[in-house]
Amino acid sequence: MNQTNTPSGPAGNQIIWIEPEPCILCYACVRECPAMAIEVKANVDHVTILPNRCIACGSCYTICPTRAVKIASDLNKVQEAIAAQRITCAIIDPCISAEFPDITDYRNFVGMIRSLGFKGVYDLSFAVDLTAQAHATLFADFKGKYRISSKCPAVVSFIEKHHPQLTDNLVPIFSPASVMAGIIRELEPENPFIVLINPCLASRLESGSNDDNHRIDAQIPFQELRDWFTSHHISENSVEFSDFDPPNGRKGALFPLSSGFMQAADQFEDLLMSNFLSTDGRQDMVESINGFATSYEIRKHLDLFYCEGCIMGPGMSAKGNKFSRRTLATDYAAKRFETYVPDVWQSDLEHFKISEPNRQFHPDNQQMVLPDETEIADILKLIGKTGDHDTDRGCLACGYKSCRDFAISVALGLAKADMCHLYGTKNKQEYIKSLRSSNEQLARAQKALQESEKQAREEKQLAQEYSETLTAVLQKIPSGVVIVNEKLRIIQANREFIDILGDEIKAIDEVIPGLKGADLRTLFPAPMLNLFTFVLQNNQDIMHKDISMNNRLLNLSVFPIKKSTILGAVLRDLSLPEVQKEEVIKKVTEVIDKNLEMVQQIGFLLGEGASDTERMLNSIIKYYRSEETK
Ligand code: SF4
Ligand code: SF4
């Protein structure tokens, strides 16, 4: 069974609660709950039971597909009482027949219970006979006030909390289980520990509010009893026959069936003659009480069961078939009836007769104040129920019988708008639409990204090609060329540059190929560096500066390539013969140019003499050029 071994629930003494983690927010429990006791909050990923409103009917427990609903277990308490050798007595609900069809003889079942350590094992049937008789007497003694039976603890709790104005209509008699507890206390005066074994969760609520005489100390559902037998290897074959402790019942074994209670008092629901109405099941219970509350729709005593008979109670194993359980229960009742001894039964009935019905009930008004009409209308509008919609009806998918009831629940904070199927579908469609639009945007962004990646790749390739071309060209230039950044770190230098700077720099080149990243300040003396700094700061060329370095005369030109960021420099070793020739040609060209200027100025005076000088100088140039070509 889906229980914990803690004796009570997590909040106070809650006997039923919902674990957040397994809850998948399917709202099945909300739909089943007759007491609007399950809260659904926005932005919370699980539902919560409101203990004050809960009537412990167990419907949420039965319906929950993920076993998120938990029930507190009394098993430890019972085992401790047995271990402490208290006189422990079990009250067995006649439902056992429907839960344990595998145990063929009820006497074996009683033997199995005793072998768990129970001293007394009592059949609830006798107390059913007693309470049914008392109900029948009250129903017959009609003085204008219709009654509601008090045999079902869930019904009693529903009236106390949700129709407290009807509490006075409840039959003031304890439930059969509580009556049986009183009988056991009379028979076992040594303060027995009384355990109710049945499929009803709500009976724990009742026993909590009983007086000491009718107190039930613990309750064990059938599913848990089955697990207990298994863990102690107790089976029908491992025990001998044993019978219930007296008093024995008559027709009380019919109690688990709807209308079986009144039959125990030989009262049958005759459509023409009977003054009571028997119903079972959640919906019928709610509707019949609502009808009874109006005081004119139903003019009968009500004999109500919350479940469809105890055979369908929350403490029964899951998946049982109602009609096969019904057959098992009637067969068992027939078998028990065979053991009925009229004289003994009659005398027991007289002995334990409920002469003064005096049960006290505990009205605990949990009725909610309805929200105002504007708020209800706003919620109906939000969920799209306006205009032609009849809001007193609904698709029932949310679990409420009308859209209006649902809107009230939302306004009271007990439900969320998205529990509405139509609203949820609409939201989903809008969500899908917005998802589709953002997907399209994403696709466009991805495409743009791919294109820019492609462009970047192409640009990178182009830059690579330029860089390779530049490197190749630089290597072919017969002068030293270096390109540096604003920190004077070398970006590119050609072979000639390295050769001009000498052996020491060639050694560095072996470690740092091409001197890439090398600091120019470690390669050049300060006067040369000053030229670079000047160009960097002023973005002006410095051309053809003759500089001495390591006893060699060098010619340096520095110029900006990218403003204040990248500089280029050309270095020539003037001691090399080819450079010398070139320099001479350059110098002679300059002399010719200057002479020509002079010639033009004195041309008039010197006439043909100037042409001779030009011819002479040109021949010198020609000579050097021819030498260079060779
Ligand atoms: S036990 Fe019953 S009343 Fe309590 S929350 Fe579950 S369904 Fe609602
Ligand atoms: S039935 Fe209730 S508790 Fe269980 S998963 Fe659904 S919403 Fe959660």
The percent of residues in the chain predicted with pLDDT above 70, rounded, is 90
Do residue 588 and residue 568 come from a single domain? Answer: no
Is residue 366 in a domain? no
Rounded CA gap, 119 and 122, in Å? 10
When comparing pLDDT for 12 and 435, which is higher? 435
Is residue 426 in a domain? no
Do residue 521 and residue 536 come from a single domain? Answer: yes
Do residue 297 and residue 168 come from a single domain? Answer: yes
| Token pair in block for residue 466 | 């330029």
Q: Enter the DSSP assignment of 339.
A: T
Do residue 412 and residue 438 come from a single domain? Answer: no
Is residue 23 in a domain? yes
Cα dihedral 568, 574, 579, 584, rounded to 10, equals 120
Do residue 53 and residue 84 come from a single domain? Answer: no
Do residue 55 and residue 138 come from a single domain? Answer: no
Nearest ligand by distance to the CA of 282: 1
Rounded CA gap, 141 and 137, in Å? 6
Nearest ligand by distance to the CA of 45: 2
In terms of residue numbers, what domain contains 2?
1-71
Do residue 206 and residue 339 come from a single domain? Answer: yes
- Name the pTM for this structure: 0.67
Cβ–ligand 2 contact at 69 (below 6 Å): yes
Nearest residue by C-alpha to atom 8 in ligand 2? 23
Residues paired with 276 in a beta bridge: 301
Do residue 137 and residue 285 come from a single domain? Answer: yes
Is residue 240 in a domain? yes
Domain boundary among 54, 71, 88: 71
pLDDT tens per residue across span 466-500: 778 877 888 888 889 999 999 999 998 989 999 88
Do residue 124 and residue 181 come from a single domain? Answer: yes
Do residue 517 and residue 556 come from a single domain? Answer: yes
Do residue 124 and residue 214 come from a single domain? Answer: yes
Contact 331, 104 (CB under 8 A): no
Helix 608-629 to helix 577-606 angle (10° resolution) is 170
Beta-sheet strands, E only, within 477-590: 480-484, 490-493, 542-549, 552-562, 566-573
pLDDT tens per residue across span 114-172: 999 999 999 999 999 999 999 999 888 888 889 999 999 999 999 999 999 999 999 99
Tell me the CA–centroid distance for residue 463 and ligand 1, in Å: 75
Q: Give the number of domains in the chain.
A: 6
Cβ–ligand 1 contact at 258 (below 6 Å): no
Tell me the CA–centroid distance for residue 183 and ligand 2, in Å: 40
Cβ–ligand 2 contact at 49 (below 6 Å): no
Inform me whether the pLDDT recorded for 207 exceeds 80.
Answer: no
pLDDT band at 619 (very low <50, low <70, confident <90, very high): low
When comparing pLDDT for 598 and 575, which is higher? 575
Do residue 229 and residue 172 come from a single domain? Answer: yes
pLDDT tens per residue across span 541-571: 998 888 888 778 888 999 998 898 999 999 9
